Amino acid sequence: MNKTIITVVGKDTVGIIAKICTYLAENKVNILDISQTIVQGFFNMMMIVDMEETNKPFGEMADELEQIGDKIGVKVKCQREEIFTSMHRI
């Protein structure tokens, strides 16, 4: 499995989840886990996805998701699971 952590943060608006999930589905990325909250009008989502079936390189997909985020007014960041885990290890 090729796991990636995707985080989305910004002012809450209609369609954030739909736009991100549509892009992932179109690129054959499977969502393994998803959590989202809205706190005082700010949207926060964390996803764990499997990129095993996609043909797109990680960097290209991360850039495209960041561009989608810019269009809808949120910040989208992608990290490979092993890097995320290393960064957050105590």
The CATH number covering residue 14 comes to: 3.30.70.260
Question: What strand order describes the sheet that includes 74-80?
Answer: 30-39, 42-50, 3-11, 74-80
Q: Residue 89 contacts by C-beta under 8 Å, 6 or more apart in sequence?
A: none
Question: How many structural domains compose the chain?
Answer: 1
Contact yes or no for 81/4 (Cβ under 8 A): yes
Q: What is the pLDDT of residue 21?
A: 97
pTM: 0.88
Q: Which of 45, 27, 50, 21 is nearest to 35 (CA)?
A: 45
Q: Tens-of-pLDDT digits for all 90 residues of the chain? A: 799 999 999 999 999 999 999 999 999 999 999 999 999 999 999 999 999 999 999 999 999 999 999 999 999 999 997 665 666 565
- Measured CA to CA in angstroms, residue 41 lies from 14, 25, 34, 56, 74 at distances of 12, 27, 19, 33, 13
Beta strands in the chain (DSSP E): 3-11, 30-39, 42-50, 74-80
Tell me the residue range of the domain where 42 lies. 3-87
